[in-house]
């Protein structure tokens, strides 16, 4: 058993990166502020690797503390910029189950991140898969207060050269400061959000 170094987890490594987009794919300069996207991830030892268990409490139990740390790290990384979109994902090493990654993505882990962002009524879009070190995953993004804001549907891609190891799970959160540059497909606009149901 690997030594625990964060709550009930052994975290081998934290990752983070920032993407700043100044113009869209056809060269049109941003219609307003640049689009900042942030990715924060942790490579965590999977105590269930190689075995089946009905109970996944070893992953879920301390996940609120993990969420608090992701929340602290996005505040630090965003450096005062307002984050209005979010998404989450997991990468599970070859000896684990996809369900092991999902255990880290439940509401107990997500709620502290919502608090760090000043709220978030919408559910957090998510994805995940099993894979070897260096596998790429596309993390979905949506507006944190209203899922039906079409302009904020987006993705950010991430890969980690040394993970996930076979007995690890990489938990990933992604964030954005605005919708897509030059979004022009209609639908509910961000300035018309009612904010009472997480959808509109």
pLDDT in tens, 84-123: 999 999 999 999 999 999 999 999 999 999 999 999 999 9
- What percentage of residues in the chain have a pLDDT greater than 90? 92
Q: Which residue has the tokens 């995940």?
A: 128
* pLDDT, position 123: 92
Q: Which residue has the tokens 């690797």?
A: 49
Name residues whose C-beta falls within 8 Å of residue 155's C-beta, 6 or more positions apart in sequence: 87, 138, 139, 140, 141
Q: How confident is the model at residue 3 (pLDDT cuts 50, 70, 90)?
A: very high
Q: Which of 45, 37, 43, 46 is nearest to 19 (CA)?
A: 37
Domains and CATH numbers, the chain: 11-192 (3.30.1330.110)
In this prediction, residues 133-156 reach a mean pLDDT of 97
* pLDDT, position 174: 98
CA 27 to chain centre: 28
What's the CA gap between 200 and 189, in Å, rounded?
9
- This prediction's pTM: 0.96
* pLDDT, position 192: 84
Parallel, antiparallel or unpaired: strands 136-143 and 85-92: antiparallel
Q: How confident is the model at residue 193 (pLDDT cuts 50, 70, 90)?
A: confident
Judge whether 136 and 161 are in contact, CB under 8 Å.
Answer: no
What's the CA gap between 117 and 93, in Å, rounded?
30
pLDDT at 195 over 90: no
pLDDT tens-digit profile of 44-60?
A: 999 999 999 999 999 99
Q: Which of 74, 68, 41 is nearest to 176 (CA)?
A: 74
Higher pLDDT, 20 or 191: 20
pLDDT at 16 over 90: yes
* pLDDT, position 196: 83
Q: How confident is the model at residue 22 (pLDDT cuts 50, 70, 90)?
A: very high
Q: Which of 145, 140, 130 is nearest to 180 (CA)?
A: 140
Question: Which two three-digit tokens encode residue 92?
Answer: 């599970």
pLDDT at 82 over 90: yes
């Amino acid at each position: 058993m690997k030594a625990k170094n964060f709550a009930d987890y052994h975290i081998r490594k934290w990752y983070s990166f920032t993407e700043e987009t100044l113009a869209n794919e056809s060269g049109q300069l941003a219609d307003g502020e640049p689009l900042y996207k942030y990715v924060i991830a942790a490579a965590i030892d999977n105590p269930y690797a190689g075995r089946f268990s009905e109970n996944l409490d070893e992953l879920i139990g301390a996940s609120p503390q993990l969420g608090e740390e992701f929340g602290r790290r996005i505040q630090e990384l965003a450096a005062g910029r307002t984050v209005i979109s979010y998404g989450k994902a997991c990468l599970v090493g070859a000896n684990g189950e996809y369900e092991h990654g999902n255990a880290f993505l439940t509401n107990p882990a997500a709620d502290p991140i919502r608090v760090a962002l000043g709220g978030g009524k919408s559910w957090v879009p998510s994805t995940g898969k099993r894979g070897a070190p260096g596998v790429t995953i596309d993390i979905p993004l949506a507006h944190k207060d209203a899922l039906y804001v079409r302009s904020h549907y987006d993705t950010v891609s991430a890969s980690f050269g040394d993970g996930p190891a076979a007995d690890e799970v990489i938990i990933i959160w992604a964030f954005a400061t605005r919708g897509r540059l030059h979004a022009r497909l209609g639908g509910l606009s961000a300035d018309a959000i009612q904010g009472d149901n997480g959808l509109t």
